[in-house]
Structure 1
Amino acid sequence: MNLKRNFRNGLLPVFLFFLIPGMQSYAQDNPKTLTNSSLKGFVIESGEQKPLEYATVSIYSLPDSVLVKGTITNRKGEFELIGLMSSSYFYKLEYLGFESYSSEPVLLKENENLFLSNPLILHANTQNLSEVEVNGNRDFSRVELDKTVYNVSKSPVSDGGTINEVLATIPKLNVTASGGIELRGSSDVKILIDGKLSGLLGMSPGDVLSNMPAADVDRVEVITSPSAKYDASGSAGIVNIIMKKERAKGFNGNVSATIGTINKHSGRTALSFRTGKLNFSGSYSYQNDWSGRDYSVMRFTEIEDNIEMLNVNADIDFGNRSHISQVGMDYLINEKNTFSLSLTNRNVKQNSNGDYKYSRNLATSSASPNETLRESAVDIDLDSWVYNASFIHMFAKKGQELSIDASYTNNDAENYGNYIESGSMTNDFYDSDREEAIVQLDYKQPIGESASIETGYLFRTNEINYKEPIDISTAFNYKESIQGLYFLFGGKNDHFGYQLGLRSEYSDINTNENYKEDYLDFFPSIHLSYQLSDNKQLLLTYSKMIYRPDSRMVNPFQNLQDPENQRLGTKDLGAYYTHMPELTFVYKRDKITYTTNLYYLYKDNIINQFRWVKDDVAIVTFENLGSKHYAGIDFNMETKLNEWWSVNSYLSGIYQKFTSSSEVSFPTNDDFGFFAKLTSIMRIPKWFTFQSTFRYETEMPVAQGSYDPCFHADFAFGKRIMKGKASLSLYIYDVLNSNKFNVNTSGDRFKQRMKYKFENRVANFTFRYYFGKKYNVLKSKTHSNGVQHSEKDI
């Protein structure tokens, strides 16, 4: 197995680096300390007396002014600091754009639960950005009951990179060279933007996010065990990308321009005008990139008593041009009712021009290989419109609210392919229309002082039509409809937090190719947390999810780009289910936070890509293969070495086992691998911010083979200039030119090795200019729905 080899290659010292400090820190803690007092309160802003969400609350001991612990306010501006010793303290409130507040001394007695009945008021800092430089920074990550939140807005990658590039800096995530997003090594992950999928429809998430600037991202939520509130579709978890919400009154905005290596350039502007009652926003971005995407294939196929050797070398130029426009309006009808509208248009044109060289010969033949040349030109034109409307009603009772969200998406994509081989030309064309409508209702009802119930309803319909005007026999239609109901009950009792949920979903899928499936399922979720002491927390979670076949998996037709390596859908796929228990331990010290996760995923009747050879042609289809066992342990250490340098180190050990079904037979394949990531951020005062990310992944198994080990490093530099009105950033992807993607597969009568080589060592330089005044107002609400099926290609 690879376990011994990986340890010999130097991972054992890394493993001990994570494990030993945590054991030492645990041993140093005093379990006899009594920490049974607490402090509660709520924070509002002075202007409109609105609650402030995400305000930082820190409490310090007296007389030494040592930081004891901290937290942030919730949507209602409430905070709670628990597990405090009986002693004297003072607390401090901080929020971007507001003047900080420090309290008078507070004396907590043993077993005292002090509640500050009067609201704590923060006053807006009305100074212009050119006159003030904000140096405060939120912690990079925090663990909550049902998710881990990563604050990425201050990263230099965020200022000049794309969303895909900032996701690559998050410990549990990996972004492949082709733009695919993985969570703990699995690509079966659901991607949401502000809790919604509507902005990602019609394209793969990697294509969409690689065209969106990371400067718009506030934070990223990684949900490894989703609650019943979320759409149950998925398999590995959820990545929810929370966009920045402009809170400043008046006219504000920014413009930016980026240039990069090998003919890459982009530009963007974002504007907002807010009166507090009626607020408008808009943005426009343009991107034009060219890059190389080459690959090679070496395949050995048994033919009677001989072996045929096939070599394929492809040299591909890939162009991507996009225009993305968005306008939105918020109308605060009164302090209890808010109505919002938005419209987004995305126009993307992609060109893929490739030269393919095929070389065939028999192992026992001394003759020269038979060579074939093929030219391919594929153009894709996609136009997408997304319409969103939402309404929020706040009842008289504090915390009681009703929200309604509705969205409609229309995507039209045209694919033109022209191919020249041996002097003859062939072509293909298809036009796909995709429409989706989503309606979601959510209601929340507080119970007592520390508990609440939530319930809601979701309706989603998704229809895709592939039209082929030349040959009507290849027309393909796909329709999916889902209805869901959920119920959540959660709260907190002293050191114990809980959230129990149940979701029911009915789904119906059918195509014009005699495929019809419907499912009625129930999905429980359990989230429990226990505060062991002031700096130790234990969490236990469980959830169940479903993975339904999508249109790509059941579409039996294909284009002709590479006839030696074809991809086809399968008509008789069934859904599969995933069970996801997880145990988490969080230990915080003065400058170090340790997080350990022990998790297990069981998937039965999994849908997976499966390669086989027919008439000397490799064909990849989607099949229900059998079962998959996926177990792992994560070690994450977030360290603040000093005021200007922080390091986040992550190590994950993963065991995977694939077993075949009676319909699709292949040898059982299992192995153990490691995934490690190190992110360092240096904020050098009056100079610049430097971020470096290093990632290493050992050989990982797939059903029919394995992926090769890979390693790469990314650098980013950022600096504010012009008294804070502008910024410069430089992002360098794959500094060592080492990031490659190789996959080895084998099956009945064949062995194959495929090497992918994407353009590496890419550099982008960005200038961004900010204008306007900053003043905080109401923050909008987000909701959850939607799913994206994805899987690493073989």
Structure 2
Amino acid sequence: MKDVVLTIFLVLLGTAVFSQTGQTGSIKGKIIDAKTKEALEFVNVSIRTKDSGKTLVTGTVTDSTGVFHLSRIKNGTYILSASYIGYRTLEKEFTISSKERNINLRNLLLEEDAQAISEVQVVAQRAQMRFEIDKKVFDVASNISQAGGSASDILGNIPSVEVDNEGEISLRGNSSVTIWINGKASGLTADNQAQILEQIPAESIERIELITNPSAKFSPEGTSGIINIILKKDRKAGYYGSIQTGADTQGGYNASANINYNSGKVETYLNAGYRQRKSEGEDNTNRTNTDEAGNPVSYLNQKGKSDRNGSSVFVRAGITYNFTPKDHLSLEAFAHFGDRKSDNMIRYESNVPGSFTTSERLTHSKNSSNGNNINLDYKHEFNKNSNITARASWDLWKSDGTDTYKQHSFYPEGKETASWQQQESDNRSQSWEFQVDYVNKFSEDSKVEAGYKGSLSNRKSPVETYSGATEASAVLDELLFNKYIYDQNIQALYATYSTKLNQFGVQVGLRGEYTDTETKSLGYGEHRSEVKPYKNDYFSLFPSVFLSYSLPKDNEVQINYTRRISRPRGWQLNPFVNMTDSLNISYGNPYLDPEFSNSFEVNYIKNWEKHTLSLSAYYRNTDDVIQRIRYREGDVMKSTSANITRSSSTGAEIVAKNKFFSFLDITTTMNLYYNKLDGFSYTPEGTDTPVTGEKDDNFSWNAKMIANAMLPYAISLQATGNYNSRRIIAQGHRKSNYSIDLGARKSFFNRKVTFSVNVQDILNSRNWHSVTSGNGFRQDSDSWRKGQVFRFTLSYNFGNMKATPKKQQRQQNEMNGIEEEF
């Protein structure tokens, strides 16, 4: 072991030494309006060679403070071009040499082009998607087709992401994905994320980041990667805000407001939103019971309808105090409060011997939930290349629910039965996170990062059930009483080192995590001290390696490898036997182990002036895959979770961004992947007959296209199309589906007022159809929500968007690393 550590150290040391010889440099500056002296964001900045061909080398856009920064530029003389709609293009010559590698152009003045402004008014719109070295970033403000929706609606229109009928999220066809808010869990777990994301309004989100193969710096949870939702927090100087309201054709409506203030020394913001949402859905399931030879012997069919409505309040506030240009203290908090009601009706038909011929089951559910998050951050900058940040975070999530079931059944020869049940649940989840991160840049292209993260979480899920023929005769059902307790502590250390030698870049990292879990499932009358817990403690190492090579003519190739983990979800571990539906019984498995996967990825990126092409190939193998299995005992269908097999996935992702005719922007993503599940044989506890699954493989693909058109008179149009092909699941497959969303936006009064209209699922085609089979059964299930939902949204922007006084502006420039031009 010592020899391995020494070898790694020597390799890193040698790489660091050689990296200092790289003949590359950087350039930075700030774009401002020549007349108002205000910073201009989203200005296109490009660098071309000075020769007659003027080949494009690289490019970027300015941030919210007007700043741009481009690095890894070879020695030579270039032309920098800054262009923005309504302004004259600015060009400036500069030279990168061994004597002057890091150039600061300071303030560059853009002058208005009066003729261009008088000819046509065109809406400037941020790019829908951009590439960064370790992630893809999607701008939510540009997503017109989901205006007035929720975080779940936004995710459903992100390339490579799918959201199913129950709110479960998949990335590249894999549901083992971690969801973050502002770079941390923020109380989200696999058990509650669907409910929480439904409550977060789309207008509170700034951007969404897809990190498909995160380095050792990030949590390794989620075998398919991380989706990071970044909420809005503007750092521009002055005070400003917006008010938004909207409604849809299903009876839903929403309203929100936000205000920001930044004096340079103090930055504050406050966001608040309210949403009322209604939806309808249907589902059908046809089950055929078979004998040992696979011949049909009976059937059980069901048809269901559901009406759902709910409301939620989302509040977020924060303050940052800049003690000095190098010391920053931030306090942030957000809370969400919501309630949901749903009415479901299921009609059964059956010819199972001894069972009913027809039955009707009515379910009425009421659920209230609220979550709170408080986050304290401190950042100290030792110098412009070195800093340390510390964070403490606390989360609390509560969910109370009551489900009432009424069932009326008819049997042969005129017999009738009736039953009444009410199930009450009270879920609590609390967690603490402590994190410290250190960054030190040795040069423009070499840096080391290291840190610690501790996560402490506790969940309690008590359930009480009352059963009887009628509500008046119902009593506490001891068999359906359960109190589930789940504790999980994770302690992690990580270190990464990155450097670049000419065109070759490398980043290596290692993360170590110790996980301590303890679960208890208490039955009626049992005390916590009387039940022996199930414990699972383990230590895991997660290495990561990232390699990149810059090819001529603005081409780049990236290769990376990471090890990932997917820990079992709380409901998968709970051994409580849920018998509320006597014909469909489910229970968890406390002996589940985590899934471990090895993920490899190769990326190629090519940039042209108006086009970008990204090609990715990936391979992922996973051990101890957790799957939901179903088996029949008599006339009852049972289901549980188990580590039953091994899987592998190979795929390719193609992303093309194209700009046509200066007003049309099209982003096309296609994901092609091959999944393979090994065969398995699993014998559930208490049974003698094993559940088996044959080896299965499948080629699947999905595609998304987002088209944005920016028209005169401040009009924007957007169309989003999705298609998912057939894919395999445990014991079966899911059929293909597709959908189309449309949106339009018009701005008034110098873009102070904006009106949007969009329609979701215009073809009413967004459904989920699965076919499964196993020992003694074949089952066909189909579910969908009512589509063709029209939304209307009106926004008003207000405030002082001018620059801060000269002294405060100078301080802001110092924080951004830009020198003031006198």
* TM-score (normalizing by structure 1): 0.85
1:207 equivalent to 2:202? Answer no
Alignment check: 8 A CA contact 2:727 2:733 kept: yes
Residue of structure 2 aligned with 1:475, choices 449, 458, 483: 483
Cα distance in 2 for residues equivalent to 1:99 and 1:195: 36
Letter in 2 for 1:311: N
Three-state SS of the structure 1 residue aligned to 2:693 is coil
Please name the residue that 2:508 is paired with.
500
Alignment check: 8 A CA contact 2:123 2:716 kept: no
Letter in 1 for 2:656: M
Cα distance per residue 1:436-456 (max 9 Å; x no partner): 111111011122342111000
Cα distance in 1 for residues equivalent to 2:506 and 2:23: 20
Three-state SS of the structure 2 residue aligned to 1:263 is coil
Please name the residue that 2:770 is paired with.
743
Alignment check: 8 A CA contact 1:247 1:775 kept: no
Alignment check: 8 A CA contact 2:123 2:712 kept: no
Which ranges of structure 1 fall in alignment gaps of 5 or more residues?
1-35, 782-794
Please name the residue that 1:13 is paired with.
none
Mapping for residues 114-513 of structure 1, pairs under 5 Å: 114-118=100-104, 120-121=106-107, 135-157=123-145, 159-201=147-189, 204-302=192-290, 307-362=297-352, 370-395=357-382, 397-422=383-408, 423-468=418-463, 471=478, 473-513=481-521
Cα distance in 2 for residues equivalent to 1:586 and 1:330: 37
Three-state SS of the structure 2 residue aligned to 1:605 is strand
Q: Displacement, 1:368?
A: 12
Please name the residue that 2:115 is paired with.
none
Cα distance in 2 for residues equivalent to 1:52 and 1:404: 32
Q: Displacement, 1:123?
A: 7.8
Residue of structure 2 aligned with 1:675, choices 696, 702, 720: 702
Three-state SS of the structure 2 residue aligned to 1:724 is coil
Letter in 2 for 1:41: I
Cα distance in 2 for residues equivalent to 1:338 and 1:52: 25
Please name the residue that 2:636 is paired with.
617
Three-state SS of the structure 2 residue aligned to 1:209 is helix
Cα distance per residue 1:291-332 (max 9 Å; x no partner): 112211100113688612000111111112111112211111
After superposition, the Cα gap between the structure-2 partners of 1:547 and 1:50, relative to the gap in structure 1 and judged at 3 Å, is farther
Cα distance in 1 for residues equivalent to 2:230 and 2:574: 33
Three-state SS of the structure 1 residue aligned to 2:750 is helix
Q: Displacement, 1:86?
A: 5.1
Three-state SS of the structure 2 residue aligned to 1:206 is helix
Deviates more, 1:200-209 or 1:664-673: 200-209
Mapping for residues 587-666 of structure 1, pairs under 5 Å: 587-663=606-682, 665-666=692-693
Which ranges of structure 2 fall in alignment gaps of 5 or more residues?
1-21, 113-117, 409-417, 465-475, 522-532, 683-690, 804-808, 816-822
Q: Which has the higher contact order (CA 8 A, sep 6+)?
A: 1
Alignment check: 8 A CA contact 1:38 1:114 kept: no
Alignment check: 8 A CA contact 1:706 1:745 kept: yes
Residue of structure 2 aligned with 1:517, choices 516, 531, 536: 536
Three-state SS of the structure 2 residue aligned to 1:215 is helix
Three-state SS of the structure 2 residue aligned to 1:230 is coil
Cα distance in 2 for residues equivalent to 1:515 and 1:680: 52
Alignment check: 8 A CA contact 2:43 2:83 kept: yes
Letter in 2 for 1:534: K
Mapping for residues 513-552 of structure 1, pairs under 5 Å: 513=521, 514-552=533-571
After superposition, the Cα gap between the structure-2 partners of 1:351 and 1:673, relative to the gap in structure 1 and judged at 3 Å, is same
Cα distance per residue 1:365-384 (max 9 Å; x no partner): 9x997001111111111121
Cα distance in 2 for residues equivalent to 1:649 and 1:599: 19
Q: CA RMSD in A?
A: 3.4
Three-state SS of the structure 2 residue aligned to 1:104 is strand
Cα distance per residue 1:506-531 (max 9 Å; x no partner): 00111114321111010001111111
Cα distance in 2 for residues equivalent to 1:347 and 1:416: 17
Mapping for residues 76-115 of structure 1, pairs under 5 Å: 79-82=69-72, 88-92=78-82, 102-106=90-94, 114-115=100-101
Alignment check: 8 A CA contact 1:99 1:122 kept: no
Q: Displacement, 1:104?
A: 3.3
Please name the residue that 1:26 is paired with.
none
Cα distance per residue 1:157-176 (max 9 Å; x no partner): 36433333333332222233
Q: Displacement, 1:336?
A: 1.1
Cα distance in 2 for residues equivalent to 1:482 and 1:68: 45
Cα distance per residue 1:409-468 (max 9 Å; x no partner): 111211101111233311111111110111111011122342111000000011001124
Cα distance in 1 for residues equivalent to 2:99 and 2:632: 70
Cα distance in 1 for residues equivalent to 2:43 and 2:442: 24
Q: Displacement, 1:66?
A: 7.9
After superposition, the Cα gap between the structure-2 partners of 1:774 and 1:559, relative to the gap in structure 1 and judged at 3 Å, is farther
Cα distance in 1 for residues equivalent to 2:109 and 2:329: 26
Cα distance per residue 1:85-138 (max 9 Å; x no partner): 9555233387x9x99993533356xx7785354452368999xxxx99885444
Q: Displacement, 1:614?
A: 2.5
Cα distance per residue 1:647-676 (max 9 Å; x no partner): 122222211111134536311111112212
Cα distance in 1 for residues equivalent to 2:238 and 2:794: 24
Cα distance in 2 for residues equivalent to 1:541 and 1:209: 30
Cα distance in 1 for residues equivalent to 2:329 and 2:251: 43
Cα distance in 1 for residues equivalent to 2:128 and 2:168: 23
Alignment check: 8 A CA contact 1:353 1:378 kept: yes
Letter in 1 for 2:315: S
Cα distance in 1 for residues equivalent to 2:344 and 2:233: 42
Letter in 1 for 2:498: G
Cα distance in 1 for residues equivalent to 2:100 and 2:485: 62
Letter in 1 for 2:166: S
Letter in 2 for 1:221: E
Three-state SS of the structure 1 residue aligned to 2:166 is coil
After superposition, the Cα gap between the structure-2 partners of 1:137 and 1:570, relative to the gap in structure 1 and judged at 3 Å, is same
Q: Displacement, 1:606?
A: 0.7
Cα distance in 2 for residues equivalent to 1:270 and 1:166: 20
Alignment check: 8 A CA contact 1:41 1:120 kept: no
After superposition, the Cα gap between the structure-2 partners of 1:492 and 1:759, relative to the gap in structure 1 and judged at 3 Å, is same
Cα distance in 2 for residues equivalent to 1:653 and 1:220: 22
